[in-house]
């Protein structure tokens, strides 16, 4: 069984230690007011990249950020922590002198605060970048509410940031083996928990059972909610579950999953130590679910 310290290990991005200050979003001059605070900080994000300073996020003063990036950069209010207010500017391309790095290469080393701020900023930035036109009439829409809403000036429709619910699950059998799968798009040796998007009119529990059955042919009985993680690549909310298999025969669909296997704790430890199996990064809910079940130390990550 998992050790208590592994079972209780915090889920990355699972708790955001800052106040989003939603009451400030209606102020059209929020950025100018924020700029007057000497403690204010601004992150800079691009298309799945972020400005960095070594292994940390690069932060700029509000006036410095606008001077460097221009007034057309999308302004996003993230909130405030004990040190002061935090915003983000979204730009098509982060300037080279801000040392842009892919988000996935940075996020593993961030603490809970900066990881949560980054996924908040990135989720909003991705949404604005891909939803600039009204879904009702097709006219260009405008950002409002400090980046948390768009409004169409032609028909008045309001649009809010998109979040796609997806279930991700660690399924075990009667012998407490864990079911992990390999996607045909992945490099050889990569295995992860199964996952899939929730369909309209479907409960989360039914989505867990359907996805596992579709991808591996395994029938799942009881399920238990484990935790959730925002995943802005580009706009998902990952809803983690554990589940108990009623059958163990595997028949992969060949489309979403090309290989699936049952692992004991010992066999997974040996496979990861020998590099024949590589698991997701430690910032992912998939790895959190696996580590929570395993209860020990597993080598390596993608």
* Per-residue model confidence as pLDDT tens for the chain (302 residues): 444 444 567 888 888 999 999 999 999 999 999 999 999 999 999 999 999 998 899 999 999 999 999 888 999 999 999 999 999 999 999 999 999 999 989 988 899 999 999 999 999 999 999 999 999 999 999 999 999 999 999 999 999 999 999 999 999 999 999 999 999 999 999 999 999 999 999 999 999 999 999 999 999 999 999 999 999 988 999 999 999 999 999 999 999 999 999 999 999 999 999 999 999 998 999 999 999 999 998 998 87
Torsions phi, psi of 76, nearest 5? Answer: -130, 120
Write down the pLDDT at residue 8.
Answer: 61
Say how far apart CA 160 and CA 176 lie, in whole Å.
42
Per DSSP, which regions of 13-83 are E strands? 41-45, 49-53, 56-57, 74-81
Write down the pLDDT at residue 3.
Answer: 44
Say how far apart CA 229 and CA 241 lie, in whole Å.
12
N-term to C-term CA, the chain: 25
Burial of 196 (0-12, 13-18, 19+ CB in 10 A): middle
Cα dihedral across residues 128, 280, 207, 214: positive or negative: positive
Closest Cα partner for 107 from 120, 98, 94?
Answer: 120
Domains in the chain, start-ordered, CATH in brackets?
22-130 (3.90.79.20), 163-294 (3.90.79.10)
User: Residue 252: which residues within 8 A CB-CB, separation 6 or more?
Assistant: 181, 215, 216, 217, 258, 259, 260
Closest Cα partner for 97 from 74, 68, 73?
Answer: 68
Question: Could you count the other beta carbons within 10 Å of the beta carbon of residue 237?
Answer: 15
CA of residue 177 relative to chain centroid, distance: 27
Write down the pLDDT at residue 67.
Answer: 94
Instruction: Map tokens 């003063």 to a residue.
Output: 61
Q: In this structure, what token pair is assigned to residue 281? A: 């990064």
Closest Cα partner for 51 from 4, 8, 89?
Answer: 89
Say how far apart CA 97 and CA 77 lie, in whole Å.
24
Say how far apart CA 12 and CA 113 lie, in whole Å.
10
The model carries a pTM of: 0.91
Write down the pLDDT at residue 249.
Answer: 98
Burial of 178 (0-12, 13-18, 19+ CB in 10 A): buried
Question: Could you count the other beta carbons within 10 Å of the beta carbon of residue 29?
Answer: 8
SS3 263: strand
Write down the pLDDT at residue 219.
Answer: 98
Which one-letter DSSP state was computed for residue 192? B
Instruction: Map tokens 């997701």 to a residue.
Output: 280
Give CA separation, 294 vs 49, 209, 301, in Å: 32, 22, 15
Q: In this structure, what token pair is assigned to residue 250? A: 């595997």
Host H or E run for residue 231: strand 220-231
């Amino acid at each position: 069984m998992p050790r208590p310290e592994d079972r209780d290990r915090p889920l990355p991005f699972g708790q955001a230690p800052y106040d989003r200050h939603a009451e400030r979003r209606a102020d059209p001059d929020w950025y100018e007011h924020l700029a007057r605070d000497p403690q204010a900080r601004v992150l800079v994000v691009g298309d799945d990249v972020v400005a960095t300073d070594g292994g940390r996020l690069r932060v700029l003063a509000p006036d410095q950020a606008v001077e460097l990036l221009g007034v057309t950069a999308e302004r996003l209010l993230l909130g405030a922590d004990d040190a002061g207010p935090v915003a983000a500017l979204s730009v098509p391309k982060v300037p080279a002198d801000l040392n842009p790095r892919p988000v996935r290469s940075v996020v593993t080393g961030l603490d809970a605060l900066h990881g949560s701020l980054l996924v908040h900023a990135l989720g909003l930035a991705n949404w604005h970048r891909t939803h600039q036109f009204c879904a009702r009439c097709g006219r260009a829409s405008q950002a409002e509410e400090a980046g948390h809403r768009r409004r169409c000036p032609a028909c008045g429709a309001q649009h809010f940031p998109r979040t796609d619910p997806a279930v991700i699950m660690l399924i075990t059998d009667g012998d407490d083996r864990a079911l992990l799968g390999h996607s045909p798009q992945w490099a050889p040796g990569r295995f992860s928990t199964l996952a899939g998007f929730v369909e309209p009119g479907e409960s989360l529990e039914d989505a867990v059972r359907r996805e596992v059955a579709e991808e591996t042919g395994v029938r799942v009985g009881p399920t238990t909610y484990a935790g959730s993680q925002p995943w802005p690549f580009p706009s998902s909310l990952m809803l983690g579950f554990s589940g108990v298999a009623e059958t163990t025969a595997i028949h992969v669909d060949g489309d979403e999953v090309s290989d699936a296997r049952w692992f004991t704790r010992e066999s997974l430890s040996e496979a990861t130590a020998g590099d024949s199996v590589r698991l997701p990064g430690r910032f992912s809910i998939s790895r959190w679910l696996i580590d929570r079940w395993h209860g020990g130390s597993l080598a390596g990550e993608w």
